[in-house]
Structure 1
Amino acid sequence: MSHSPDPNEDDLGTIPASHPVFHAEQALLGALLFDPRLLGDVTGISADSWSTAAHASLFAAISALPPPDPNEHRKTTAWLTQVLAAAREEARGLSASYLHTLIQVCPWPRHAAAYARMVEAEHARRRLRDATGLLVQTVHDVSLPEPVEAVLAEADALAAVVDDIATRFPPRAGILPRTPVPPPNAAADPTEAVEEEQLLLATATARPADIESVRWLLAEDFTQPLHAGLWQCLTALARRHEPVDPVTVLWEAQQRGLLHDGSEPSGVLRLLAEPAGSVGHWGQRALTRSLLAAADQAGRRIQAYSDDPMNTPFQLVAGARRALADIGAIRTRWQHATGHSLPQPARAARAGPAARHAPAVSPPARPVAAGRTP
């Protein structure tokens, strides 16, 4: 997660101190300041892994500066002074007292790898939330000339983030988020969808031979339950090679119980009696709406998962992949319908520093801090 801090501020209020990751970050930085050699045990952490710009600046300084001689570090704060000077180039609000506070609040420096894992897990949650936000935002951007292509590109980017997280937190079998799934978003203005679905049904009734050419269209792509049911009636009659007209479709609808919701037979007949355009055109319009709705639902579902602190990275990966699979299924049908085959982007390599291994040595005593003896 990138930061653009005011260099005159310490940025330490970005994440409430009551949030566990804030304390994990403090503990990790304190461990590294206490014993810089522990940096070799820390993997998967980079400058954008931190919740505050001040912490990111400190980590960057610790990573960039040569580690001090352990015996010298045990006696003086010279290396801490260098770290502070380097970090203040990006976060001028940092103070020497805060570095000493970090050392003091670290429970056990030898647990640095565990603290790093916590920081990395929270960073994974933020990355997933940010990528999902872009997907949902793109779904609702009415200014896009090619909305499907743009949405699928964001879905691919989100999938790459999920794959990247999975390299560090592989999903475990049977571990899915327990977060309640949000209900589907109601269309802001369903009028257009209703009218186009009616035209599709009427045109398919008038030209049943064209139904076979839109086998990629499913009942679930319709926004209205009655329309979905009538499409099933049409495809069933066509598949059985039975006569298709408004009356035969109405009779099939009765057999399937579609009129039990109070739909008037005369209203169904009127709906099926006004064809226009082509079945393929209206079918593609319905499928496009269905794809965008699926992307919106998948995005909001993943957002709900990432907003729930009870979900582990393992669960986030499993839940996100399950949600993205719903987009993938409709994407395949959309490509068959339109003849557009969008290239799959290369999966991004995992960001972060390469694994380092420090020698197994005992940490030095804590360096002298203000008001504290070593």
Structure 2
Amino acid sequence: MLLVPERLETIGPLESEHFANTAHSALFEAMRTVPAPEVHRTSPVWPNQLLDAAQPQARALTASYLHTLISVCPTDAHAPAYAQMVRSGHARRVLRRHAGLLAQAARAPGPDPAGAVLARADQLAVYLDGLATTFPSHPGSMPRTLAAPPAAIQTSAEAGDEERMLLAAATAHPENLQRMRWLHESDLTTPLHSALFACLTGLARRGAPVDAITMLWEAQQHGLLHGEFGPADLLDAVSHAGGAPKHWGQRILRRDLLRQAEDAAARIEDLTADEATTVHQLATGSRRALAALSSVRTRWHQAVGGTSSGARATATATVQTRVPQQPATRAGPAVCHPARPTR
């Protein structure tokens, strides 16, 4: 564009912030603000004007560097392709920044960590919608980089205490289990606690009596009792209830929501680290990484009785995303099928 300023009209929607290099960003911004004179082909007037306009923001720019840029350009006719490369690099950097912010929200303590995580996830989803429009799909749209397996669930003393309180509260108030279908045994961090919660929900679904004795029998039938965790340990774990099962269930589900967000962010960062992955492949892989978080998010909204923040509404208002609508159910009498004749 230094050689042929007319290429500015053919490179598409390129902005100065799309450049990773500060000097290049300042130079491109100067190109958009300083008009090229008619004599630019015979006199170096325009490069000198650009240098004067860009140097306050980029002191390292020199006249010799501008002439170096001109000399290394293969052909000015390929400027639109070069601009697409710049846009792709910017998209990769912004996507990685979104993933970093999502991971930071999952780790940072705060009054509403789930709300902060969901707000970041909404912003990431809106950005992915924009990428799908700016970078159309092609035959090789699936990501070539294998997603890293989810990180092992890290348990903690606090998480273990909350899960034990859930087991005791649910044993004392089993009627609440039917209203807590939003909590799955996979949300618990300790395998033993997860298996015991599965025993509790199994008893409740069958309509069987639930108390410490029936829990002991159910755990024994599932082979959960052993030398390090015997009947006395189980009875002690489920016999000291404190608080409502819903309270402890929400805390456990929130912890799983934050863990899923951190895993999704790590997978997206791995995708952006592969320079051979195209932008559309990045968008496809990022959507897959967010799928597990979306599943937990739906159950979290069920647990708290609605959305935990206004982030989704704000993000949707910013970028309208087309969602395929299901056909409406037709009103009318039920379809009657003829009875089969008995032999």
* TM-score over 0.5 for the pair: yes
Give the secondary-structure state (helix, strand or coil) at the position aligned to 2:2.
helix
Distance 1:294 1:82, change over 3 A: same
Question: How far off its partner does 1:313 sit?
Answer: 0.7
Distance 1:44 1:331 in 2: 35
Higher relative contact order (CA 8 A, sep 6+): 1
Q: Unpaired segments of 5 or more residues in structure 1?
A: 1-31, 351-374
- Answer whether contact 1:177 1:319 (CA < 8 A) is retained: no
Tell me, yes or no, if structure 1 residue 191 matches structure 2 residue 157.
yes
Give the structure 1 partner of residue 56 of structure 2: 89
Question: How far off its partner does 1:154 sit?
Answer: 1.4
Give the structure 2 partner of residue 45 of structure 1: 14
Q: Look up the equivalent residue of 1:44 and give its one-letter code.
A: P
Question: How far off its partner does 1:171 sit?
Answer: 4.7
Distance 1:56 1:200 in 2: 55
Give the structure 1 partner of residue 261 of structure 2: 295
Matches within 5 A, 1:225-374: 225-259=191-225, 263-341=229-307, 342-343=309-310, 344=312, 345-346=314-315, 348=318
Question: How far off its partner does 1:332 sit?
Answer: 1.8
Aligned residues: percent identity?
44
Q: Unpaired segments of 5 or more residues in structure 2?
A: 321-343
Task: Please list the CA deviations of residues 210-239 of structure 1 after superposition, one character each: whole Å capped at 9, or x if unmatched.
Answer: 111211111121111111111111111111
Q: Look up the equivalent residue of 1:228 and give its one-letter code.
A: S
Q: 1:119 aligns with which of 77, 86, 91?
A: 86
Tell me, yes or no, if structure 1 residue 134 matches structure 2 residue 115.
no
Q: Look up the equivalent residue of 1:51 and give its one-letter code.
A: A
Tell which deviates more after alignment, 225-234 or 280-289: 225-234
Tell me, yes or no, if structure 1 residue 65 matches structure 2 residue 34.
yes
Give the structure 2 partner of residue 106 of structure 1: 73
Tell me, yes or no, if structure 1 residue 178 matches structure 2 residue 145.
yes
Distance 1:38 1:261 in 2: 77
Question: How far off its partner does 1:267 sit?
Answer: 2.6
Give the secondary-structure state (helix, strand or coil) at the position aligned to 1:300.
helix
Q: 2:134 aligns with which of 168, 181, 187?
A: 168
Distance 2:116 2:152 in 1: 20
Tell which deviates more after alignment, 175-184 or 225-234: 175-184
TM-score by length of 1: 0.78
Distance 1:321 1:261 in 2: 45
Task: Please list the CA deviations of residues 233-279 of structure 1 after superposition, one character each: whole Å capped at 9, or x if unmatched.
Answer: 11111111112223333333344454589743443332222221111
Q: How much is the aligned-residue C-alpha RMSD, in angstroms?
A: 2.3
Give the secondary-structure state (helix, strand or coil) at the position aligned to 2:315.
coil
Distance 1:260 1:104 in 2: 76
Question: How far off its partner does 1:186 sit?
Answer: 5.1
Give the secondary-structure state (helix, strand or coil) at the position aligned to 1:42.
coil
Distance 1:223 1:172 in 2: 40
Give the secondary-structure state (helix, strand or coil) at the position aligned to 1:76.
coil
Give the structure 2 partner of residue 156 of structure 1: 122
Distance 1:259 1:322, change over 3 A: farther
Question: How far off its partner does 1:314 sit?
Answer: 1.0
- Answer whether contact 2:123 2:315 (CA < 8 A) is retained: no
